[in-house]
A and B are shown apart, each in its own frame.
Chain A
């Protein structure tokens, strides 16, 4: 379970952005949209080149020694005391919660883990953003990841950000808190069970009648978007960062 009370620091002038391996490979735009949103708030963004993966896949597969090596290598990349903003609740959960389980003897872990913030949580609670909606009226549903919800406790943050957009109506879908079936290696090891979960989730999302959904976790989104695509449905999800950037009239800070 997530820590019950999290105390947020004052707004910093500089942050590290942890892009995550899935954003890196599958949705580079998400990374640039996130940078644009952070920079607009006057925060300088550092993307460390050596970042690869948080170590979660090996950890969840039972390969702890391997996960530890990777985790230690990642920790070494963020020497300054700036916040580490991470584009996924699940990688955030790994760094904030599981690094301590993985390396109980490493005294640097608690201070490191405390600096880790999931992106939407950071926008809302640390930067206190006030978003100005510039888009047409639309409806949207939010899929929260399980790790974001139960390990990080940040599932309300995405909704609170959407609520700032005057012409966006967030619609709840049935079984909102239920898992989409991704779970990393679970989706591969037990693909049939995972698929059944993904199919139900797409049904519930589609039943809201929205044209698009958002999430802050690319793992869930890969799972759901490929399911929608297989069903030849036009509904797709994108990262909350991209949705917010577009609604608030931000041009991508380029590539």
Chain B
């Protein structure tokens, strides 16, 4: 899928004008928020999130060593480990594995990392059909759209829109808005594909270094089908998903499911520790693990930005974000939308391409409040804003790119006025005099708001007069 965060402004305007989309999102987000609230009380959340933050920080602090350990343990378990620095390398590795078993079809469990690298298109162009098996992903794939939420890919669609899609895209399917019937139809299509696919592809939620275990959280069983039925299983993950010990997993899992969908636990939790062993009745003959960097080591290198990598991809920040809730996931033009997308995408795509994302936040802090691993998202957004406008060398590609001479001059002038109260008072005095004349706000503001009018005499002006009175 083409990523186009450069078009954020246009795309968000477009989304705002779409009343159906806004209603769909408001309803869906309310539903998810309420479910989360029912299973998480403040006290438990606060102690558990402190624990989860500590786990992720400990693991990240020794990331290189843990990745090596993961590789060794996985190999000992018979899992083949591959390293990819870029999306292109990851695609090549996966395509080579597929070629190795003469694959022409693959089934995929939900995986955002494979969205990040554009795997479906890449494999498709090489004659390997890649079918999404998660129901939400299946729907957006049929609609030729990227997911608009990392947990609920088709959350932007209403039942009626999905019904139409099934009716138009699948042969012999009558129009029905009955959700159970639609899911039944989807299942039967997928069952056939599972049976014949040569390769199963999945993501990873936690990769345990201690034991070389790949953990996969899901609800529909499609993940288990993808990782057990086809003869070859390829798991793809970002390098930040590694945890040190098996005992790190339960607290993270417990907050992940509750933050994401309000479920105390999901229907399936898969722990994959290698290919089929002699005497075992099922399981793939080969298991591969592809570890993707794609800008993550860049975030890792800076202690503050490293916090971005704590993310366990629960999506709670999106569900609570007033911006995401109004414009939906597609407007961002990135694989990861919403608050987490605003802080991770600049690492993956560069600050130039993502210039509008860090500023598209009122810094209200709702994301940080609900984040199960306590990522200080507003603080990181401010860091990215500074990074983009800094005149010093920054750590990210595109650093300093947004520093225009004009804007920098305006802020320098502003700082000078604020340091010189006399100048500042003069300016506010002038603003007070010319109060109905200053057309200093953009037309978009004035489109739904009136011009704020300064008082005729400022507080300080009046205060001075009061003091000078006998």
Residues of A within 8 A of B (CB): 1, 19, 21, 23-28, 30-32, 47, 49-53, 55, 57-64, 66-67, 69-70, 73, 101, 146-147, 149-151, 177-179, 181-200, 222-223, 225-227, 229-230, 254-255
Contact = CB atoms under 8 A, between A and B. Distances in A.
Contact of B466 (A58, A101, A151, A255): A255
Contacts of A101: 379
B459 A185 contact: no
A26 B387 CA distance: 33
Contacts of B455: 25-28
5 contacts: A26-B452, A63-B389, A188-B441, A192-B444, A193-B360
The A interface is mostly helix, strand or loop, or mixed, namely helix
A52 B368 contact: no
Contacts of B13: 192
Interface string B228-269: 000000000000000000000000000000000000000000
A25 B362 contact: no
- Residue from A51, A57, A193, A222 with most neighbouring chain B CB atoms (10 Å): A193
Contact of B16 (A151, A178, A185, A193): A193
Contacts of A69: 415, 418-419
Contacts of B445: 187-188, 191, 194-195
Contact of A197 (B326, B418, B461): B326
Contacts of A27: 455, 459
B323 A146 contact: no
A150 B364 contact: yes
B369 A226 contact: no
B382 A227 contact: no
Interface stretch (B89-97, B219-227, B277-285, B424-432): B424-432
Nearest to B460: A24
B100 interface: no
A114 B54 CA distance: 27
A200 B448 CA distance: 12
Contacts of A62: 382, 385-390, 402
Given A146-B364, A255-B465, A31 B411 contact: no
B349 interface: no
B411 A58 contact: yes
Given A31-B463, A197-B326, A191 B419 contact: no
A181 B448 CA distance: 12
Contacts of B365: 1, 146-147, 149-151
Nearest to A27: B455
Contacts of B385: 60-62
B450 A230 contact: yes
Nearest to A227: B449
A185 B359 contact: yes
B417 interface: yes
Contacts of A254: 466
Contact of B460 (A49, A179, A186, A196): A49
B449 A226 contact: yes
Given A69-B415, A194-B362, 5 more contacts: A25-B454, A52-B418, A59-B382, A60-B382, A229-B450
B390 A179 contact: no
Interface string B391-416: 00000000000100000100110110
